[in-house]
Structure 1
């Protein structure tokens, strides 16, 4: 059985090269941009003793307050085992605590600690100069335009993801 492939002698193939015009090009560029941004922001977090996966959980806790691990996993795109390891790390570092959920003996909510909030704020201060380096190649006004475009792309008006 063969797939329905348009009869082209020059089929557009995803290459991950500059100027790629395949239907995968935008996704590949976003992936490469994510890798670059993650590496730069990881540098900001390293001296604070955490990684992006830890910071992602802290963001959810700051935004939503105490959150059950299942919802943390969903919010961060992490599997159940992975989120448990991250929360274990955060607890060991004194940045978050697990607490019982009233009315549900099996569920545990994760809550950020005052030390976690301090580190969260310190991470933003540490990231500031690196964020500027990240967009240094862009012209004045382009970082804001890029942020606007990515926001509309990531959060479509009709609510689709």
Structure 2
């Protein structure tokens, strides 16, 4: 502990236990929830031959259509080099293609292929029972509320942090 912070200033230590009031509790719980959800989705995607990082890009492409690589990086929270590697993998698998952008010889847009759409749909079918198990301890109204809360939390644009 820094010497300029008195011991009495620390009222609780961060944990991820229910009822933790430390300022880090929400972040720790979100991290554990992410690990759990990522493990479940990884298990669903493994038989399809892709990883969660690939599926994250496919989600953006299926939603937005052709997307610039730099925009994929922002949308998936990945650095440019990481997105390039993922797009390379998707191209090798025939799930996405890079296309020239009219008016900008250097820019490339990435587009999902029909095979990518098929895999995207198959992933949803494979993930549905696993996702249901993931939230099985919640009531349907709680699942909906959790989704709403996480959406608002993740999409916060207040700029105060």
How many aligned positions are there? 158
The residue aligned with 2:72 is 72
**For residues 1-161 of structure 1, what are the structure 2 equivalents within 5 Å?**
5=5, 8=8, 10-156=10-156, 159-160=157-158
Deviation track 1:78-102 (CA, whole Å, cap 9, x = no partner) reads: 1111111100000000000011111
Segments of structure 1 that go 5 or more residues without pairing to the other structure are none
**What TM-score does the superposition give when structure 1 sets the normalisation length?**
0.89
**What TM-score does the superposition give when structure 2 sets the normalisation length?**
0.89
Cα distance in 2 for residues equivalent to 1:31 and 1:64: 27
Cα distance in 2 for residues equivalent to 1:56 and 1:64: 12
Provide the secondary structure at the position in 2 that maps to 1:23: coil
Flag the 1:14–1:99 CA change in 2: closer, same or farther, 3 A: same
With 37-46 and 16-25 compared, the bigger mean Cα shift is at 16-25
Segments of structure 2 that go 5 or more residues without pairing to the other structure are none
Flag the 1:81–1:140 CA change in 2: closer, same or farther, 3 A: closer
Cα distance in 2 for residues equivalent to 1:4 and 1:24: 21
Deviation track 1:85-123 (CA, whole Å, cap 9, x = no partner) reads: 100000000000011111111111110000000000111
Residue 43 of structure 1, CA deviation: 0.8
Flag the 1:4–1:118 CA change in 2: closer, same or farther, 3 A: farther
